[in-house]
Amino acid sequence: MTKDKETRRGKVIEVLNKARAMELTAISQYMNQHYGLDAMDYGDLAKNLKLIAIDEMRHAEMLAERVKELGGEPVSEADAKTVRNQAVQEIFGFSADLEDVTIDVYNQFLLTCRENGDSISVKLFETLIEEEQEHFNYFDGVSEHITKLGDNFLARIAGTPASTGLQPQGFAVAKDA
């Protein structure tokens, strides 16, 4: 591999790993928020946060797979600490801001991949940006409802089920199948 190609590949691996670290932060943050909302008995909100965290898990895995395809080592550390014990009124605005920053950063990472000739990583970031935009829209919408409707909105959700309806999957379940 030529030095120039190695350098370009290294730049792509670097942004892929930065994105992976951001995803690991989001997973931890959203699962923490999920647990808190579930404990406060806001099941529907908790359920959606868990589903979004699962999206982020998929993103982290997709990024790791691409890093490995390029000959790199996927990072395993989050880029920020989890903010704990948030009030329900804080969670959704905070998460909307997190997604908004992520979308902006991922657009810059996409440009880095394009500038370095990696169209596969460009497509990956396009997919991630679309899904992060869906997350932003959800968080921003709930934040607006809480701001405008306050306790009336939250009272309507209190006591709803937190079940995602997902079937248990994973190593432990698969080995019994």
pTM: 0.93
Is the pLDDT at 177 greater than 70, yes or no? no
Query: Is position 1 annotated in a ligand binding site?
Result: no
Among left, alpha and beta (phi > 0; psi -120 to 50; other), residue 78 is: beta
Q: What is the pLDDT of residues 84-97, one digit of tens each?
A: 999 999 999 999 99
> Does 145 belong to an annotated binding site?
no
Q: Per residue in 136-146, pLDDT tens?
A: 999 999 999 99
- At residue 115, the pLDDT reads 97
Domains defined for the chain, CATH in brackets: 7-155 (1.20.1260.10)
Of the pLDDT bands very low, low, confident and very high (cuts 50, 70, 90), residue 149 is: very high
102-130: pLDDT as tens digits: 999 999 999 999 999 999 999 999 999 99
Structure tokens at 88: 């329900």
Is 135 a known ligand-binding residue? yes
Backbone angles phi, psi at 117, to 5 degrees: 75, 30
Q: Which two tokens stand for residue 120?
A: 């596969």
Within 40-118, residue ranges assigned H as helices are: 43-69, 88-115
pLDDT score of 163: 87
The answer on whether 99 is annotated among ligand-binding residues is: yes
| Of 90, 83, 95, 88, nearest in space to 38 by CA | 88
Residue 34 assigned as binding residue: no
57 has binding-site annotation:
yes
